[in-house]
Amino acid sequence: MVYGRSSSGDPDRPGDPDRSGGLPGPARARRPADPVALKLLVAGGFGVGKTTLVGAVSEIRPLRTEEDLSEAGRPLDDLRGVEAKSTTTVAMDFGRITLRDELVLYLFGTPGQDRFWFLWDELAQGALGAVVLADTRRLAECFAAVDYFERRGIPFLVAVNCFDGAERFPAATVRAALDLDDRVPLLMCDARERESVKEVLATVVEHALALTTRDRAPAVRG
């Protein structure tokens, strides 16, 4: 996260009643009443079913984010004159699942193309986990996403979206093709089916929980 690890002594915490003065200290506790928001990312190539998946379990709305082109990794000398001051608008799939009043899970479906990587860094920050959607007819399109989450240590799974007419492959074959770590869950899904998508999302959170538990109790590891 952009925020430091300390939550109790953060002098910049908005909403602290005494934020305008006084010393930071342990007395500045997080407000217990603040609700909790978590996010999951849905990544994958164009047409793999990200929008369908997010829409299957949540009210889905497009989210517009405008980014400075220079942040998109373009060489600066590519930008001339007025163009240098322009922005690019990127629409993401955005879904909200209200688990209870004070607990909300957000889904962000992110474009898989290279030119949108700059968006991912923000989205990945503080993400609970990620779903990499794969289509066995175009498996290579999810390599970049798998690499990305592996490198960042973000808990993720691969969900193979089983399109009609696409040849079915055994999970082991897909795993091998993706060179997937044994611990990364891989499952088959139908992004149009609510039950199937619920299972995908629950599994990724389970995976995140397992990793968290392991990290919190190193003594019992192995």
Partner 1 sequence: MSDAGRQGRPGERGPGGDHWFDDDAGPVVRPYAMTRGRTSTATRQRLDLIALVVPEPAAADPGRDQTLSPEHVEIVQRCGDFPRSIADLAAGLDLPVGVVRVLVGDLVEDALVHVTRPVPPAELPDVSILREVINGLRAL
Contact footprint for ligand GDP (CB under 6 A): 44, 46-52, 161-164, 190-192
Among positive and negative, which fits the CA dihedral 61, 98, 109, 197?
Answer: negative
- Under rule CB under 8 A, residue 214 binds partner 1: no
| Shortest CB 161 distance to partner 1, Å | 18
Q: What is the Cα 59 distance to its own chain's centre?
A: 17
What SS3 class is residue 89? strand
Angstrom distance (rounded) from CA 92 to CA 137: 24
Query: Quick one: 101 or 167, whose CB is closer to partner 1?
Result: 101
- Helices 194-216 + 50-57 axis angle, to 10: 90
Binding residues for partner 1 restricted to 171-200, rule: CB under 8 A:
194, 198-199
Query: Quick one: 113 or 213, whose CB is closer to ligand GDP?
Result: 113
Q: Label the pairing between strands 129-134 and 156-161.
A: parallel
**Helix extents (H) in the chain:** 50-57, 117-124, 143-152, 171-178, 194-216
Partner from Mg ion, ligand GDP, partner 1, none contacting 83, C-beta within 5 to 8 A by type: none
How many residues touch partner 1 (CB under 8 A)? 68
Binding residues for Mg ion restricted to 46-65, rule: CB under 5 A:
51
- Under rule CB under 8 A, residue 14 binds partner 1: yes
Residue 84's CB is within 10 A of a number of other CB atoms, namely 12
Exposed (0-12), middle (13-18) or buried (19+): which is 204, by Cβ within 10 Å? Answer: buried
Residue 217's CB is within 10 A of a number of other CB atoms, namely 9
| Shortest CB 51 distance to Mg ion, Å | 3
Which of 29, 126, 137, 166 forms a contact with partner 1 (CB under 8 A)? 126
- Under rule CB under 8 A, residue 221 binds partner 1: no
| Shortest CB 70 distance to ligand GDP, Å | 26
Q: Where does this chain bind partner 1 (CB under 8 A)?
A: 1-3, 5, 7, 10-16, 19-20, 30, 34-39, 57, 61-66, 68, 70, 84-87, 89, 94, 96-106, 108, 122-123, 125-129, 194, 198-199, 201-202, 205-206, 208-209, 212-213, 215-216
